Amino acid sequence: MRDSILNAGEKVHVIHRRHFDSEPHRHFVGTVNEYEDGVVRMTGHVFAVDLTTFQFIRQPESRTRVVSVVSGEVIVNVLPSSVDLAKLVYRVEGSSVRVSDGSAWYLDVSVRRTPWFPIRLPWV
């Protein structure tokens, strides 16, 4: 049985909520250092949208972030342990935006508008 919902060493992909359409998309990919009472300390890299090419670009410097995962401001995806974080890239494939390390694994981060859900979610 697990001691907590997130454990040190786990790999995570975090999507920060956007409050306005003009805000850039910000994602964070890293490794959990510590987790306690809904707060995670993690080290990794920011991915942000380049507004000239509209592609996700990995920021070169490593950062340590402390984020509340219970605030409603982020979506946390736990990644498989086999994922190589250094090789992660964002690719557009058809109508999907996928994060992949070049292996068979990928994470689809697309938001689709459908007739029954026609609005854009503000956090992606």
Lowest mean pLDDT among 40-49, 51-60, 105-114: 105-114
Q: Is the pTM of this model over 0.85?
A: no
Contact 56, 85 (CB under 8 A): no
pLDDT at residue 30, as a whole number: 97
Mean pLDDT of 104-121: 67
Residue 9: CA count within 13 A, CB half-sphere:
2
- Higher-confidence position of 18 and 120: 18
In angstroms, rounded to a whole number, what is the distance separating the alpha carbons of residues 78 and 53? Answer: 28
List the domain boundaries for the chain. Answer: 11-108
Q: How far, CA to CA in Å, does 57 sit from each of 25, 34, 53, 60, 73? A: 11, 26, 10, 9, 21
pLDDT at 78 over 70: yes
Quick one: pLDDT band at residue 48, thresholds 50, 70, 90? confident
Q: Which of 116, 19, 112 is nearest to 73 (CA)?
A: 19
- Higher-confidence position of 113 and 60: 60
Q: What is the largest CA-CA distance in the chain?
A: 47
CA angle 6, 9, 12 (to 5 degrees): 60
Quick one: pLDDT band at residue 112, thresholds 50, 70, 90? low
Mean pLDDT of 113-118: 50
